[in-house]
Every structure is written in C-alpha cells, then in structure tokens.
Amino acid sequence: MTTLSSKLSLETAQDYLREQAARIDVDPMTNSVFALAQTLFRQIEAGDAKLSDLSKLADEVHLDLIEERADRFRAQHSGGKAKSAREDLIADLDALAAKGLDAFRSAVEQPTGGIVFTGHPTFALSRPLRNALADHVVSPTKTSRTALMRQIRTDSRAWNQAISLKGEHDEVQAAIAHAATAQLAYAEAVITVARKAFPDEWRSLNIYLPTLASWVGYDLDGRTDIHWSQSLTFRLAEKASQLGRYAEQLEAMSGSQKIGPLAKLTQRLKAAADETAKHADLFAADLTDPDNLVPAANALTAHSSRTLLDADEIISVLDGVLPKADDQLAANLMALRAQVQALQLGTARIHLRVNAAQVRTVINRDLGLQTEDRELGRLALAELAQKARKSKPVPVNFADLFLEQSTARRQFMMCAQILKHIDAGSVIRFLIAESENPATVMGALYLARQYGVDDKLDISPLFETPEALETGGRFIERLLEEPEFLDYVKQRGYLSIQLGFSDAGRFIGQVAADMAIERIHNLIARALAAKGADVDLLIFNTHGESMGRGAWPGTFEQRFDHLLTPWTRAGARARGLQLRHEVSFQGGDGFLHFANPTLAEATMSAWCRHTLSDPGDTSQDPFYTRTDLVWDFYRSLRGWHENLFDNADYGRLLGAFSSALTVKAGSRPKRRAAGPVGPRSLRAISHNATLQQLGIPVNTAAGIGSSLQREMERLVELIDASPRMRGLILLALNARVLTSLPALRAYAGVYDPSVWIAHAKLAENDKASAYRGVYYTLRNTETAHSMNQIANYLTVDLGKFDRLIAQLNDAPSIEERHEGRLDIHVLHAVRQALIMRAFTIVGGLPRLSERHDASTRDLVEMVAELRIREAVELLCEIFPRSRDQDTPLKALTEPGSEARVASYGYDRIHKDIITPLDDIDRTLHGISLAIAHAYGAFG
C-alpha cells in the first residue's frame, strides 16, 4: 500500500490515488480524491507535512498542465511555426490561382468576414504568465520551461486585483497589433501568388483582408462603469496609434526612394497622429466636469489643417503612386491599401454593445410604445418603422452627450461624434444583447436615423436566450417584411446578426445550443435569400476558447466548421447567398492566439484558409435527413439542461463557496448587479468556469446519456454515420474526460458537518475544539447536501453516457479517462486539504474582543465562503504586528516602558495563524489558475 510518509511528489500522490480508486470493488463509497485530501490534511495537522510541501506539489502539477496546454496549442498553430502556416496558405492560394484569374479575383476580393476581439472576465492568468506560455509554444526549451515555472511560482494575486478596463484595453491593442501584422502577411501571400500566376494583371486586384474589430471599452451590456468619454478616449488613442503605424509602414517601404506623394503623406500622417494623441489626452480628463469637457470638445471639433478624418485621403494617394511604382513597391502599397480599407483610421472596427432593455427604455419612455407586449409587438414594429421612415437627423454636440441620461441614446450620439470628428469612414457595429422582439431592432434603426448614423451603423440583434434561439428565424422574417428595414439592409449591403454560444450553452447545454444555433443560421439565411435583395448575411458567432463556451477543442479547421457548419455554408451558396463570418477571440484565452507574431500569423492563416475553402458536399450526412431523431434528441437534451438549471440544489452549488474558486479575471463583475438571482445572475463565463473549477463541466458533458434512452441503438448508429453528430458528441466526450464526480463529492466531504465531528472524536483536545467550531458553523448549511444531490443526479446521467461512449468507435476507455484525470485529482485534493487546514486555523482562534464586531464563527464562515483574503485582512486589523523599533516615536525624550513592544504586537499570531492563512490563499489562487489549463479557459 502506497503511503505519503515518504517525500511528497506528484508521482507518489498519483500512485496513492490509483490504489485508493482500486478499492471501489470492495467499497463502492470509496473516494480516492477525498482520501488523498484527508491524508494530506492529517499530515499537515500532525506536522508531518508543511504548507510549502503542498504548494510545491500544486506548482509541479501546474507545470505539467500548462505544458500539456502548450503542446495542444502548438499542434493547433502549425507546430508553432509561422513558415509552416504560410506554406499551407500559399498552397491553397496556388490551387485557387490554377482555376484562373476570374476565380482567384472572386475569392480574394470577396468580403468574407473577420475576427473580433472581445473581453469579459477571462484574464485569470497574469500577462507575464501568458507571455511565457506563448513563448514556450513557439520555442519549447529548458529556458522557456524555467520561465514558465518562475511565473507559476510568482504570487499573482495583486495582478488580478489590479485588473482594470484600461489594462484590458492595453492587452487587446497588443493582440490587435499582432493581428494587423498577420493581416498584412496574408495580403503579401495573395500578391506573391498573383504575381507568379498573373504577371500582367496582378496589380488590378483589390484585395479584401479579414476585418479586425473589438468591443473592449465599448461594450455596455451588463455594466455601467464605462463613461462615454472613456470610449472616446480609447478611440482617439487607437486612431493616433494606427496613423503612426501607417506612417511607419510608408517609411519602411519607401526606403531611399524619394517619392514626393508618399513622403508628403507620411508627414501628414505623423502630424495627424500627434494631434490625435493630444485630443486623447484631453478626453482622458474627468469629463463629468464641464470645465474639462469644453476644452476637450472644442479642440476635437475645431478640425485644424492637421486633422485627418477620412481614410479615402490615404487611399487616393496610394492609388496615384501605384501605377508608376516598381513591382516590389507596388506590392507593398497594395497590401497597405487593403489594410487601410479594412481598418480605416482605427486599429480595429468598433463593436458597441447595449442590452435590449436599454433600447426598450427609450422606446417605452420617449415613444410610449410597449414592445414587450406581444399583442402590441406588431403594432409597435409598424409604428416604429413609420417613425424611422419619417425621421430626420438632428444635430448633436458634446453638450448633448453630457446631458443625455439614456444609455442607448448616448451610444447613438457617440457614434455620430466619432463619424463627424474622428473617423468618417468607420463601420460601427451596434449589437443588441438579449434581443427577443423585432420592435427593439426597429427602434434602434429609428434612433440611428434620428442621429444620422444609419449609413455607417450595422444594427445587429444578438440571439442567445432559449426563446431567442427558438424564434430568431421568425424574428428576422418579421423584420424583413417591413420595407423600411429591408431598405436599410440593402443600403448596408448585408444583414448583421450575432449568436451567443456561451450564454446559450449555459441555459440549455452546449450541445443543444450548438444545434439550435446551426438551425437559426439556416432559418435566417433562408428568410433573407427569399427576399431576393442581393445582399449578404453577416454572422458573428461569439464564443470563448473552451468547450463550455462553444469552441471545438481540436484543429482550427474543426473549430471554424463547428461554428459555421459546412451544411450552412453549402446551403447559403445553393440559395445564392454570400455569407460573411465573424468569430470572437475572447479575453486572455483568445488573445493568446495573438500573443506574439508567430501565433498571430498561424491563427490568421488558418482563418483565411477557412474562408477560402469549399464547404464540400454535405448532402449525405444523415444528421440533416434524420430530422425526426435529431430534433427529438435536441428537445430531450434541452429539457434535461433546463431542469438542471432550475434545480435548487444546482443554484446552491453555484452560489456557495464555489463561486470563489474563480479568481478575479476581469473588470466586468462575475454576477449581474440587478435582475434575476441564482444561476441566472452568474454570467456565462463565470458560470462555466465555476463548473470547471468543481471538476464538472456538465453544461457540455451531461444530458446526452439521459436523452432518447429508448432510441440508444439508433442514436449510436447516427453518431457513427454522421460527421456533424459525431462532432457534437465528441465535444461532449472531451468534456466528459475532464469531468470528475469524485472531486465534486470530495468538496461535499469538506463541507459535511459529520466529517468534522468524526475528526474531533479522534483528535486531541486543542484540535478537537477547533474541529467542533467548524462543525457548528457548517451544521445548518445545505452546501454538502446540495453537492451530493447534484453528484447523484449526474452519476445516473453520466453512467448512461459512458455506456453510449463504450459503443462508439475509437472512444477512450474508462481506464484511459481515469489516468487522464490524475493530475486534476491531485490539485483538487491539495485544494481540499488546504481549505480544511484553513478551517482549523480560524476554528482554533482565541475568543475575539467584542470591540472588533467579529467572532471566531464569523471568520470560519469567511473561510467557508473562501473569503480567506478578507479574513487575513480582518485578522491583521484585530492583531497588528509589533511596531518596528525604528518607529519615529523613539524620538520622544520622556522615559517610558521598555516592555511596550510586547504589549502592542501579536507576532506569534501572525506567525502561526495569519501568515499560514495568507500562504493558503496564495496556493489556492495558483490552483485555480492551474485547473484552468486543463480546460483551456478563463485565463
């Protein structure tokens, strides 16, 4: 029998887990994770192990998991070699060129979509650790491994606490800079192939580059902390940066050549960049003070001779030089021209986002229309269409922005000011979250017309709630029936929609959400094509990097096909409808794909290859012909997840200590400040991350086993025969591999009052008192009961899924899955032992003075909720350290007691209680980061 009395290591811990798990044949209640956790806890209590031993073990597992993540990332990014990614892209372009100039031109000049950088709370890993990970992906060496371990051992709690919107904006701009370089690399690849294949015609190409966009600093959905002036400050800073880049590119490509127009343009860009930077500084002041607003607004609106407002001014100069330039300069100018067309005067396009409720407030209050009333919905839509038709633009200045109280109106006004005074050619996306009523979109069009921005604004409903996914097709059909909205779509040249994989997956399960989203893609495509309007359909699929947020955990080709299926693409082509596809790369996880130039180019190359690819023949996939079986499965799966989501035990599971398992990872709060309580108040990213921290990514792994039990044989046949169905089930299988019910039950053990009574029975008096103190705190809570109830519920379902998996070809065995979870099980056990140790530390505290308005019980409750940092701060206040002997008070000349130091310090309490608690908090923080690597998410 393996013991842990020898030197604690990952190997001995894994062996212990294996031997404990083997006891399940004689004891079906055995739990290897909790057995390890209790053994570690007892060793710490007995003095046979130190907290530092557990911290070192956690770091060892962290290094293993981050290296495995790096391996997966490297495989996804062409082995971490930009050259390999470029060669694959050029091979595809060569094949396209072989079809002739017309085919090549049609492909490379066609708008196909692009990449959107989104934010939210997904920056769990510090930026230095993410940079070290990116470096290790590209060049795995002993040095890069050492750098990883150095960052793993660094206490990053202060970094997380300091996360701000500005910091997130800095991060997204760094990612965008690498993406822009990769954008140019794609243009250069296209031109290289064209020069070889079409030596006489290549200069005539007008290359379309994948667009870049960002909503960091512009997304107001669920937050009120972004002032309009902050968004404008960001935009001005972005403009200054981009103008500077254009100038640098022109200088680099001109070299020693003295080309008058280019030299003048370079100086023009530098002067405009300097002026814009000064405007950004003025807007960075507190513009809630009119004394600051007036000079900032006057400077921006003055439009001096240095002001540059329209990218067409740059493009016209480039067009004038191109015909006479030598081949290399012409190629460089063509690439730059394409980038200017894509980005205009900013680093990326703007995605503004508001909530439908914010638009409805304007409609209901200012227009007296109740868009939530279903009976009045059609009347409201028609009346709003009439108002939009008759609407005349009203002039806006910064005083209007200053005085406006409505969030939605303020955003439209800000659009008007951006287009007038910053970037006239900018295309701005106006996303409306939680769209469930067409009248809301028509109300947005009315407001866009009122402020004269409808010709540059893409109003895009976001479908993410269960109801929106069910009715989204009819939603768009109804909008398109209004001539006013159809005219608007024709004016824009495309219809814009957004699909929320992450929120949808939270409500109805990820697999069911993916099926519903594919359906709505096709319903909207059908409705738009039926209008014969000769416009495109722009689909923005928002998701994260993990399985629980809609990202397929394989190759980029699999991921992009999962988001916009070949069936959808082929169906749109058959209807004569051109699709434009946008995808999100979100937060720390998403920006990692653009963390350095190599990864950025590999990612961009994969994206461009996808947009150029043929969807192939999907007509033989039975997923699309066996609709009876498929949609029965969907309804059953969706119903299972909706029942889970409404389960009171599930709500308690997510609302007790577990929400503190996720560290602060963004400037946006984890929970909604107002509105529904329970799981619905927890944002999708935080919801999914919490499940992963508990070892149960059930929104992806669960429900399948309980769906269509009577049709199991037919379901297995469909999975084996259908590429689409197999992809969905493999998504769930990947999550199942990372699901650990023993880990969940072990957390229940930590919070089980009977466990603490059992420990007290065997302990010496001083420790027994602390254990009983923990028992008294936990005895009236339902945490352990709820966790066990959910564990039982999931055991039944996942047992059925395991039986289904066993019938599939090439599925991993149960033994392989158990081995694959050993690292994670060690982390969960270490975390649980540390939580138990934290309990006993505060449970054994002496009685606190009433003047501190806190009791030992209060501190135990803080630890139970994992508010350990807060407990440490409170204890530091109650028990201050001894003052340093060099205190300025020594300058007093009057004699006093020499023993005062002992009277005014609690150094022993700091050594035995406060410092160990802080060490535990630090290690728990690191464990949360380590677990995130297994899921490729939240960091």
What confidence tens digit (pLDDT) does each residue in 375-390 have? 447 788 888 999 899 8
248-276, pLDDT tens digit by residue? 999 999 877 778 999 999 999 999 999 99
Distance CA 237, CA 347 (A): 9
Looking at this protein, which amino acid is placed at residue 540?
Answer: F
Segment among 522-531, 540-549, 791-800, 823-832 with least mean pLDDT = 540-549
Residue 892 pLDDT > 90? no
Q: How far is CA 562 from CA 304, 514, 656, 725, 867, in A?
A: 50, 8, 34, 11, 39
Looking at this protein, which amino acid is placed at residue 176?
Answer: I
For range 606-613, the mean pLDDT? 97
How far, rounded to the nearest angstrom, does the alpha carbon of residue 747 sit from its chain's CA centroid?
27
Distance CA 451, CA 453 (A): 6
Give the number of other Cβ atoms within 10 Å of residue 917's Cβ. 22
How far, rounded to the nearest angstrom, does the alpha carbon of residue 646 sit from its chain's CA centroid?
25
For residue 400, with 0-12 CB atoms within 10 Å meaning exposed, 13-18 middle and 19 or more buried, which class applies? middle
Q: Which segments of 677-737 does DSSP mark as H helices, in order? A: 684-693, 698-701, 712-721, 723-737
Which H helix or E strand runs over 937?
none
Give the number of other Cβ atoms within 10 Å of residue 624's Cβ. 18
Distance CA 115, CA 230 (A): 23
Distance CA 250, CA 253 (A): 5
Distance CA 174, CA 172 (A): 5
Cβ atoms 790, 653 nearer than 8 A:
yes
Which backbone phi and psi does 867 adopt, to 5 degrees?
-90, 55
Nearest to 537 by CA among 527, 545, 548: 527
DSSP 219: B
DSSP 682: B
Which H helix or E strand runs over 115?
strand 113-118
Nearest to 745 by CA among 51, 37, 44, 45: 37
Distance CA 599, CA 85 (A): 10
Distance CA 32, CA 22 (A): 9
pLDDT at 1: 45
734-757, pLDDT tens digit by residue? 999 999 999 999 999 999 999 999
- What share of the chain has pLDDT > 90, as a percent? 80
Radius of gyration of the chain (CA): 30
How would residue 903 be classed by pLDDT, with cut points 50, 70 and 90? Answer: very low
Looking at this protein, which amino acid is placed at residue 597?
Answer: P
Cβ atoms 699, 641 nearer than 8 A:
yes
User: β-strand 113-118 against 349-355: which pairing, if any?
Assistant: unpaired
587-604, pLDDT tens digit by residue? 999 999 999 999 999 999
Looking at this protein, which amino acid is placed at residue 813?
Answer: S
How would residue 680 be classed by pLDDT, with cut points 50, 70 and 90? Answer: confident
- Of 280 and 813, which is predicted with more confidence? 280
How would residue 902 be classed by pLDDT, with cut points 50, 70 and 90? Answer: very low
442-458, pLDDT tens digit by residue? 999 999 999 999 999 99
pLDDT at 570: 97
For range 812-827, the mean pLDDT? 91
Segment among 301-305, 406-410, 460-464, 935-939 with least mean pLDDT = 935-939
pLDDT at 673: 59
pLDDT at 2: 53
Sign of CA dihedral 905, 909, 915, 920: negative
Half-sphere exposure of 641 (CA within 13 A, CB side): 24
Distance CA 714, CA 622 (A): 12
Tokens found for residue 848: 């606190």
Q: Where are the domains of the chain?
A: 625-753+777-800
Contact residues for 282 (Cβ-Cβ < 8 A; gap 6+)? 292, 295, 296, 299, 300
Tokens found for residue 754: 């009977």
pLDDT at 366: 75
Tokens found for residue 317: 């100069």
How far, rounded to the nearest angstrom, does the alpha carbon of residue 115 sit from its chain's CA centroid?
14
pLDDT at 372: 60
Cβ atoms 610, 560 nearer than 8 A:
yes
Distance CA 816, CA 800 (A): 18
Which backbone phi and psi does 209 adopt, to 5 degrees?
-100, 145
Half-sphere exposure of 587 (CA within 13 A, CB side): 28
Secondary structure (DSSP) of 118-171: E-SS---S-HHHHHHHHHHHHS--HHHHHHHHHHHHS--HHHHHT--HHHHHHH
How far, rounded to the nearest angstrom, does the alpha carbon of residue 827 sit from its chain's CA centroid?
24
Cβ atoms 232, 283 nearer than 8 A:
yes
Distance CA 352, CA 415 (A): 9
Contact residues for 751 (Cβ-Cβ < 8 A; gap 6+)? 656, 657, 778, 781, 783, 784, 787, 864
Secondary structure (DSSP) of 898-915: TTHHHHT--HHHIIIIIH
**Mean pLDDT over the full length of the chain:** 92
pLDDT at 191: 98
Residue 797 pLDDT > 80? yes
Which backbone phi and psi does 866 adopt, to 5 degrees?
60, 30
Cβ atoms 220, 121 nearer than 8 A:
no
Half-sphere exposure of 51 (CA within 13 A, CB side): 18
Give the number of other Cβ atoms within 10 Å of residue 586's Cβ. 25
pLDDT at 852: 66
135-162, pLDDT tens digit by residue? 999 999 999 999 999 999 999 999 999 9
- Of 153 and 814, which is predicted with more confidence? 153
pLDDT at 901: 44
Distance CA 559, CA 564 (A): 9
Tokens found for residue 572: 């749109």
Sign of CA dihedral 190, 193, 197, 202: positive
Residue 937 pLDDT > 90? no
pLDDT at 672: 66
pLDDT at 879: 87
Distance CA 534, CA 578 (A): 9
For range 31-51, the mean pLDDT? 96
Nearest to 700 by CA among 688, 715, 690: 688
Looking at this protein, which amino acid is placed at residue 701?
Answer: A
467-494, pLDDT tens digit by residue? 999 999 999 999 999 999 999 999 999 9
How would residue 904 be classed by pLDDT, with cut points 50, 70 and 90? Answer: very low
Strand partners, 460: 431
43-101, pLDDT tens digit by residue? 999 999 999 999 999 999 999 999 999 999 999 999 999 999 999 999 999 999 999 99
Q: Kindly state the greatest CA–CA separation across the chain.
A: 99
For range 335-340, the mean pLDDT? 98
How would residue 373 be classed by pLDDT, with cut points 50, 70 and 90? Answer: low
Residue 938 pLDDT > 80? no
pLDDT at 365: 82
> 168-174 contacts: CB < 8 A, separation 24 or more?
168/119, 168/123, 168/216, 168/217, 168/587, 168/666, 168/667, 169/216, 169/217, 169/234, 171/123, 171/127, 171/588, 171/591, 172/117, 172/119, 172/214, 172/216, 172/591, 173/238, 173/241, 173/347, 174/591
How far, rounded to the nearest angstrom, does the alpha carbon of residue 649 sit from its chain's CA centroid?
27
Secondary structure (DSSP) of 735-776: HHHT--HHHHHHHHHHT-HHHHHHHHHHS-HHHHHHHHHHHH
User: β-strand 457-463 against 428-433: which pairing, if any?
Assistant: parallel
How would residue 855 be classed by pLDDT, with cut points 50, 70 and 90? Answer: confident
Encode 509-532 in three state secondary structure: CHHHHHHHHHHHHHHHHHHHHHCC
Nearest to 925 by CA among 65, 159, 157, 69: 157
Looking at this protein, which amino acid is placed at residue 763?
Answer: A
For range 202-211, the mean pLDDT? 98
Strand partners, 498: 462, 540
How far, rounded to the nearest angstrom, does the alpha carbon of residue 632 sit from its chain's CA centroid?
31
Q: How far is CA 149 from CA 55, 58, 153, 937, in A?
A: 13, 12, 6, 20
615-634, pLDDT tens digit by residue? 999 989 999 999 999 999 99
- What share of the chain has pLDDT > 70, as a percent? 96
Residue identified by tokens 């009346």 is 383
